[in-house]
Structure 1
């Protein structure tokens, strides 16, 4: 095992995977529970490009997330990649509601399916959406749900992900074509980008012959470009998904989740918001986000929030496409 891998194992995020830090209470706007999207751009700088529009989510949308800490920043730098550092996939949950399927939920070592309205409003970082260009067929929708449900609760593929920071990385120029191939079965251990690509392959939305889930990182899904030559030629989402659009819960509020008001702070929206608090549920190993109250909000205009510009490093944007 290389020194870099040992170092990363020693700094892996740990803690209660079902505690309040991972499942905090959150406000969900009553009138616009899915928030707003801004004009599309292949740019990881979180700039609200007006005009804003209501987000109308659908199964198959891909969420790109960025809330870096020292552990993930170090790992991504070693792997020659950068922001965004996480992603999820919108799926239809068994009860018919929309949810987010992701591996590594809340910096834990688990795959989870959580209600979409709670997840996006509780997320502490920046969030972009790549909407699916064409709605799913009923069979594609069903298979996406099947994959997510089968993988929900499975452990995160930590070692496989850490290998990206070593000479054994499947992103190597000669190894991607062979070792990055899909598993083609739900219910396994995956890391974030891998689980999304695997699910999309399982649903028949992308081609298993050219997709390389085990060699894909979230940045590949954001830009449709990659420092990896194979993935750069076969971008998984290109053609089937619209460009990234920055997301916020209300126009004019802070784009970073950590700077938005959370219960019990006053809610700034005029339309009011539900207080959603994850509660323990018998028979489940993760709490269930539950509406526990409602606040009317402050009847005043919402002033834009000034935020320090996000630092964009050398590896936060891929190189020029090589074809």
Structure 2
């Protein structure tokens, strides 16, 4: 645990230096509008939530049928033991496992194929203990298989997300052998002590829930409260495709 804490401190130090590699647009709860300013330089930090769209029609249709229209990918940024930052996601692009990636590289790939990318930035940094626990848990999930069967069930009545059953099922499971994206994000935050282990429902939480901080599911909507800890979603724009107008100074 002490090694992880040292990694967190190193990552926080690096995150304190404004980055010119990417910018964030105006934070707002809209996935349909174009990126709008003012734009501010983005410095990743542990606990930031990554969200993105996907161009595949069948992928979009599946999310819409499941009640998760508009947002198709989710992951989070954490401090790796070597002090650098990683982005963990279950099933990035066409991969069928959990991957830990370089944040800027992964998000740039999404933009390059026409996807929209958002970041929900932490309002306040995670505590050293929270970040260390996040590091410990995230590293253990690397390369685990994608939960194909449970993911496909999301478009059927057999899923744990329902008007009544979510009150009783879908609770945290710890180190599962397989994951899908927003389930992994939610479980990571539970293990880190950021989300309430008693009220969180990882297996019933979708990327769109993490985007809006609200849900069509009554139980998730009543217990998923991101407002105190995260800014609203802001479009992530790599510096290479920044609009021509100048960005505003960073508030970090």
Structure 2 matches for 1:216-295, cutoff 5 A?
216-250=205-239, 253=242
Q: 1:251 to 1:95 in 2, by over 3 A?
A: same
* CA displacement, residues 92-138 of structure 1 (integer Å, 9 cap, x when unaligned): 11211111011012231100101112212222311000001110111
Q: Cα deviations across residues 269-305 of structure 1 (Å, max 9, x unaligned)?
A: xxxxxxxxxxxxxxxxxxxxxxxxxxxxxxxxx59xx
Partner SS, residue 63 of structure 1? strand
2:93 is paired with a residue whose SS is helix
What's the CA shift for 1:162?
1.1
- 1:114 lines up with 2:114 in the alignment: no
Determine the structure 2 residue equivalent to 1:262: none
Aligned to 1:22: none
Aligned to 1:164: 154
Which structure has the highest helix share of the two? 2
Q: Greater relative contact order (Cα 8 A, min sep 6): structure 1 or 2?
A: 2
The size of the alignment, in residue pairs, is 225
Matched, 1:189 2:199: no
> Which deviations, in whole Å up to 9, do the C-alpha atoms of 1:129-183 show, x marking residues without a partner?
0001110111111111111110000001111111110011111111112221111
2:79 aligns with 92
How does 1:1-323 map onto structure 2 within 5 Å?
32-33=20-21, 35-123=22-110, 124=113, 125-183=115-173, 185-186=174-175, 188-250=177-239, 253=242, 302=244
In structure 1, runs of 5+ residues without a counterpart are 1-30, 255-301, 304-323
Q: Distance in 2 between matches of 1:187 and 1:219?
A: 22
Q: Deviations over 1:14-72 (max 9, x none)?
A: xxxxxxxxxxxxxxxxx723x00011100012422211100011000001111231221
Contact 1:38 1:48 in 2 (8 A): yes
TM-score by length of 1: 0.66
Q: Distance in 1 between matches of 2:181 and 2:82?
A: 24
Q: Report the TM-score when normalising by structure 2.
A: 0.84
Q: CA RMSD in A?
A: 1.9
